[in-house]
Amino acid sequence: GAVVSQHPSWVICKSGTSVKIECRSLDFQATTMFWYRQFPKQSLMLMATSNEGSKATYEQGVEKDKFLINHASLTLSTLTVTSAHPEDSSFYICSARLPGLAVPYEQYFGPGTRLTVT
């Protein structure tokens, strides 16, 4: 149980275009999802917290107009990188938290999406 999928697993886009990444919780409902960015040989950096039915909360330094997050249902959150540039190339990872307060720290991670902007 507690499986999270991401689509696509990798994508190449041209500079100036937008790309959407999907994150789905397959066997549970996730009221809260998280988006991380991982640079090569570096840690995961939290970009934003996505709550179903409300606006995402962005971490300091993350451009909300560039990284659009939509959590339209209890099983789907999307990250859209708008007007992508080569410096946006990275590995994007989502996670989903089980509902309820018993284990607030329990997050399940997707396999990640490799974005390359040319």
Compute the least distance from the CB of residue 86 to another protein, in Å.
23
Q: Which two tokens stand for residue 105?
A: 């720290």
d(CA 62, CA 47) in angstroms, rounded, equals 6
| CB closer to another protein, 3 vs 85 | 3
Those residues whose C-beta lies under 8 Å from the C-beta of residue 78, and which sit 6 or more positions away, are 20, 21, 22, 23, 69, 70, 71, 72
Question: Counting contacts by CB under 8 A, is residue 48 touching another protein?
Answer: no
**Near another protein by CB under 8 A: residue from 29, 42, 73, 116:** 42
Q: Which residues bind another protein (CB under 8 A)?
A: 4, 6, 34, 41-44, 46, 49, 93, 95, 104-107, 109-112
